[in-house]
A and B are shown apart, each in its own frame.
Chain A
Amino acid sequence: MSVADKVQEVFNEPGCTTNQAKTDKERKKGCSKALKPGAAAGGCAYDGAMIALQPIADAAHLVHGPIACLGNSWDNRGTRSSHSQLYRTGLTTDLSELDIIHGGEKKLYKAIKEVVQQHKPPAVFVYQTCVPAMIGDDIEAVCKHAAAKFGVPVIPVNVPGFVGSKNLGNKLAGETLLDHVIGTQEPAFTTDTDVCVIGEYNLAGELWQVKPLLEEIGIRLLSNISGDAKYHEVARAHRARVTMVVCSQALVNVGRKMQERWGMPYFEGSFYGVSDMSDTLRTMTRMLVERGAAADLMDRAEGVIAREEARAQRRLQAYRPRFEGKRVLLFTGGVKSWSMVTALEEAGLTIVGTSTKKSTAEDKERIRKKKGQEFHMWDDLKPREMYRMLRESEADIMLSGGRSQFISLKAKVPWLDINQERHHPYAGYDGIITLCEEIDKTLSSPIWRQVRTPAPWEV
């Protein structure tokens, strides 16, 4: 299947609620908004695919392209691994002018060979980028040949940047896993409580805040796609009893197709905030029991939920008086746009508004349900407007990704990173406390008064 066909297929994703509301004609047009030259921001499809797959830590991730694609970007995300560190090794064919004239297929083949010999990975993911796609390098053929020759799965990830956005790249990465990885190996044994989680990347070690709770309840995380994952775990994901899709917009196609092929149901959930975390545990255990797990699983879940909620509430108490009247401007996307809202309100903060640029219709509906129609939702909040809001004290702190941090900091307003470069895990019951502590730390920093003081020559 060509990339164009694949892109068309993911645009047709029936599991996506936005799509369900569209006419056939609208669906065909696809869901990626046309980018406006000179006024666009965000990563490309290759970027998105890397985000989704690179956390598979013991695999080699080889980028076929000129130096820009990997050289400018490697080692820039905080996804963590408890085992192999191979995923942090930047590997690229670094195509030169001569390679482009002669074609890059032979170099790619040799590169795969060197990677297999040097690192002995259980699999090699090969990422196709714009330039070799333009000159017609057939990476699928090269990968197939290399896999046969070296006896290791070599997986083509066909995601040249010009096909679309980061989000599309996430989806294409999911398709790649469905086409080449999931279902290719069998687990040694299965249990009634095997689950697969999709779209959790273990940023700052977040998965590790959740996994022990699952284990305590008696749930086995058969496969996490893809934070802290081993290749063979991903390959065995099809034996899970239930699938949880974390970042709803990006990888819902994987959840739905797994259901189609292997029959396990999926649900969308979040690990952020006390009530969403509890909801997730309840849904997960209920669905497992519906599929035949022993009913006491739910009792154990309730036990853990009761204990953790009580503990979290006790710890949150300390922050509530400090957070009273403090207003937050939330600028993030997808699942975080609604799950963070709940999480922050539980801590006593007031949310001024949230961005919904990268959120699905369903994400927005959830926010509306929680907050009512009056609540500010910005599809496209311009940096200048954001700056004005902060400067005019319409919010006390902004939570966003690294890219918009300076809008806040140059307005001399507190800011906290809640995207991929953050250093602290915010998932699970412990995560919300960590988040509160970080917010409190920056809000109460003594620097704000000092940095807002005019210079001696200005008064």
Chain B
Amino acid sequence: MGHIQRFPTSTKSVATNPLKMSQPIGAALAFLGMDRSLPLFHGSQGCTAFGLVLLVRHFREAIPLQTTAMDQVSTILGGYENLEEALKNIDERMKPALIGVATTGVTETKGEDLAGHLATFRQRNPTLAHLNLVFVNTPDFAGGFEDGFAAAVTGIVEAFAEPSRSTVKGQVNILAGCHLTPGDVEEIRDIVESFGLTPIILPDLSLSMSGRQPDDFTPTSLGGTTIDQVRAMGQSEATLVLGEQMRTAAAALELKTDVRSLFFDRLTGLEVSDRFIRALAEISGRPVPARLRRQRESLVDAMLDGHFYTARKRVVVALEPDLLHAVTGFLADLGAQVVGAVSPTQAPVLEKLRAGTVMVGDHTDAEALADGCDLIISNSHGRQGAARAGVELFRMGLPQFDRLGAGLTVSVGYRGTRDLLFALANRFLAQETEHHADHDADGGGHDCHGGGGCGCSAG
């Protein structure tokens, strides 16, 4: 690809059809990957309600999420009392193993001293010493979803990880960024375990957000990483860091434990998966299992079969930074042309992207870039713009409220990459065959008036 237009200056004052979601929700999701945890937003009750609905619609799971319910008076005078009362109420009613507190725009604008709050709470409540707490600063007016997720993981590491003199043979840490679905995390665990390794995954959404069926009413997360596991991370042989967003957490972990880190910015693609598998073989000292060898052959075969349909296809991708990097990188691996890459927020990983235009923007920017393209890859909010642009929408990322199983799609490792390749190539294949046939048959009469109201994206 020739010249890349990076960050065209935007003079817009209004964000139209925003791609960005705020930091606290990202933090909430990370906390939900901890066992029996309960995220708490320090802000007005609406901050929590919106986040809750968003996550419920995407995962189709109960989302434990609470609020300090700040009102006018506490907003002005300071919210420590609300925070303390909330922590006590939650402990009493739900007995969570962990409460993860995330600030919001309201409490950050006031400038609440979170570290001070934590110290005061500990001082005033010696009887609640058993309560595990992580406090993170996640202002709504800076950064976005991915930053909040990363901040929470860093907070968890800083609160609980401990150095250790001994090493447990075969134990590895995995820091899993939010570009990975609970399904991806499950797949990664399978791959790692197939080398005889014992992974500690932080956070582990595959144990909480993948359709668990609890025996009794559970007001907290249904599973996830335990605090004891985080404490034991110092005994691991290595830390596999998945996603650029996890670098800060990885640095914090390495600083505390001296366990060496290995970075993997993406796991979608043949060569990037090879690198991951090679690392696992080295750490474990074991040969690559036959199952993975077969899966690699299968992916190679899929690339041979599928490249006809993906080559030179013009695609616009609008996703959170690390997922944007994974998807645009993989599209480039397949010979597709990434016309535009739109990120909701600024992030270091954007410097790595290969696309005609790389920009921080909203769904309207993606819509404008998509003129004459073959596909838009974005979350469900992209459907209106895709319909107007007359371009098909391929759903990835969050939220996907009009599709089932969004949290369980797998696009990492040989098998996941193969499945994503088939899904993408099939859309292009269908465009080449079925769509034309449909239009020949009924005169192009698609019974939808645009706007994506019928849930279709063809327009």
Residues of A whose CB lies within 8 Å of any CB of B are 4, 34-47, 62, 65-76, 80, 85, 88-97, 99-100, 107-108, 110-111, 113-115, 118, 130-131, 134-135, 160-166, 383-384, 387-388, 391, 402-403, 406-407, 410, 421
Contact of B85 among A38, A41, A68, A162 (CB under 8 A): A38
A70, A131, A383: residue with the most chain B Cβ atoms closer than 10 Å: A131
A-B contacts, 19 of them at CB < 8 A, read A41-B49, A44-B45, A65-B105, A67-B15, A67-B20, A67-B21, A68-B51, A71-B20, A72-B25, A73-B50, A74-B17, A93-B13, A93-B14, A94-B20, A130-B109, A164-B71, A402-B56, A406-B62, A410-B213
CB distance from A112 to the nearest CB of B (A): 8
0/1 string, B130-146, CB within 8 A of A gives 1: 00000000011110100
Q: Which residues of A contact B66 (CB under 8 A)?
A: 38-40
The answer to whether B13 touches A74 (Cβ under 8 A) is no
4 tightest Cβ-Cβ pairs between the two chains A and B: A44-B46, A38-B86, A38-B89, A37-B86
Contact of B21 among A71, A95, A403, A410 (CB under 8 A): A71
Q: Which residue of A lies closest to B49 (CB)?
A: A43
Q: Which residue of A lies closest to B364 (CB)?
A: A89
Contact of B16 among A65, A69, A89 (CB under 8 A): A89
CB distance from A99 to the nearest CB of B (A): 7
Contact of B17 among A73, A80, A90, A113 (CB under 8 A): A90
CB distance from A386 to the nearest CB of B (A): 9
Q: A72-B50, A91-B14, A94-B18 are in contact. List 20 more A-B contacts (CB 8 A).
A: A36-B85, A39-B93, A40-B48, A44-B44, A67-B20, A69-B50, A71-B20, A72-B21, A74-B18, A75-B381, A80-B453, A90-B17, A91-B16, A96-B142, A114-B13, A130-B105, A130-B109, A131-B140, A135-B109, A403-B52
CB distance from B234 to the nearest CB of A (A): 32
CB distance from A444 to the nearest CB of B (A): 21
Main secondary structure of the interface of A (DSSP, over half): helix
B322-341: which residues lie under 8 A (CB-CB) from chain A? Answer: none
The answer to whether A40 touches B217 (Cβ under 8 A) is no
The answer to whether B85 touches A37 (Cβ under 8 A) is yes
B52, B67, B110: residue with the most chain A Cβ atoms closer than 10 Å: B67
Q: Which residues of A contact B75 (CB under 8 A)?
A: 130, 134, 162
The answer to whether B85 touches A88 (Cβ under 8 A) is no
Contact of A73 among B12, B16, B54, B144 (CB under 8 A): B54
The answer to whether A36 touches B69 (Cβ under 8 A) is yes
**Given A68-B24, A92-B18, A384-B217, A40:B45 Cβ within 8 A:** yes
CB distance from B220 to the nearest CB of A (A): 12
How many Å lie between the Cα of A224 and that of B219 in the bound state?
40
The answer to whether B213 touches A88 (Cβ under 8 A) is no
Q: Which residue of A lies closest to B388 (CB)?
A: A85
CB distance from B84 to the nearest CB of A (A): 8
The answer to whether A134 touches B106 (Cβ under 8 A) is yes
How many Å lie between the Cα of A383 and that of B142 in the bound state?
34
Contact of B15 among A35, A80, A91, A406 (CB under 8 A): A91
Q: Which residues of A contact B61 (CB under 8 A)?
A: 406
How many Å lie between the Cα of A75 and that of B47 in the bound state?
16
How many Å lie between the Cα of A162 and that of B451 in the bound state?
33
The answer to whether A384 touches B45 (Cβ under 8 A) is no
**Given A37-B67, A76-B54, A165-B45, A68:B104 Cβ within 8 A:** yes
The answer to whether A35 touches B45 (Cβ under 8 A) is yes
Residues of B whose CB lies within 8 Å of any CB of A are 12-18, 20-22, 24-25, 40, 43-54, 56-57, 61-62, 66-72, 75-76, 82-83, 85-90, 93, 104-106, 109-110, 139-142, 144, 213-214, 216-217, 219, 381, 384, 401, 450-451, 453
The answer to whether A384 touches B219 (Cβ under 8 A) is yes
The answer to whether B219 touches A66 (Cβ under 8 A) is no
The answer to whether B109 touches A134 (Cβ under 8 A) is yes
How many Å lie between the Cα of A108 and that of B68 in the bound state?
29
How many Å lie between the Cα of A436 and that of B42 in the bound state?
42
How many Å lie between the Cα of A93 and that of B315 in the bound state?
28
**Given A36-B69, A410-B214, A161:B45 Cβ within 8 A:** yes
CB distance from A220 to the nearest CB of B (A): 26
Q: Which residues of A contact B219 (CB under 8 A)?
A: 383-384
Q: Which residues of A contact B43 (CB under 8 A)?
A: 130
CB distance from B24 to the nearest CB of A (A): 7
Q: Which residues of A contact B142 (CB under 8 A)?
A: 96-97
How many Å lie between the Cα of A383 and that of B21 in the bound state?
28
CB distance from A158 to the nearest CB of B (A): 13
Q: Which residue of B lies closest to A387 (CB)?
A: B217
Q: Which residues of A contact B217 (CB under 8 A)?
A: 383-384, 387-388, 391, 407, 410
CB distance from B36 to the nearest CB of A (A): 15
How many Å lie between the Cα of A65 and that of B142 in the bound state?
12
The answer to whether A161 touches B44 (Cβ under 8 A) is yes
How many Å lie between the Cα of A85 and that of B387 in the bound state?
12
Contact of A85 among B20, B56, B85, B451 (CB under 8 A): B451
How many Å lie between the Cα of A72 and that of B18 in the bound state?
9
How many Å lie between the Cα of A62 and that of B104 in the bound state?
21
How many Å lie between the Cα of A47 and that of B222 in the bound state?
29
Q: Which residues of B contact A70 (CB under 8 A)?
A: 18
CB distance from B9 to the nearest CB of A (A): 15
How many Å lie between the Cα of A36 and that of B70 in the bound state?
10
Q: Which residues of A contact B109 (CB under 8 A)?
A: 100, 130-131, 134-135
Q: Which residue of A lies closest to B363 (CB)?
A: A90
The answer to whether B54 touches A72 (Cβ under 8 A) is yes
How many Å lie between the Cα of A65 and that of B141 in the bound state?
8
The answer to whether A66 touches B213 (Cβ under 8 A) is no
Contact of B50 among A37, A68, A99, A113 (CB under 8 A): A68
How many Å lie between the Cα of A91 and that of B88 in the bound state?
38
A96, A130, A383: residue with the most chain B Cβ atoms closer than 10 Å: A130
The answer to whether A38 touches B40 (Cβ under 8 A) is yes
Contact of A88 among B45, B87, B88, B451 (CB under 8 A): B451
**Given A66-B140, A402-B56, A406-B62, A162:B72 Cβ within 8 A:** yes
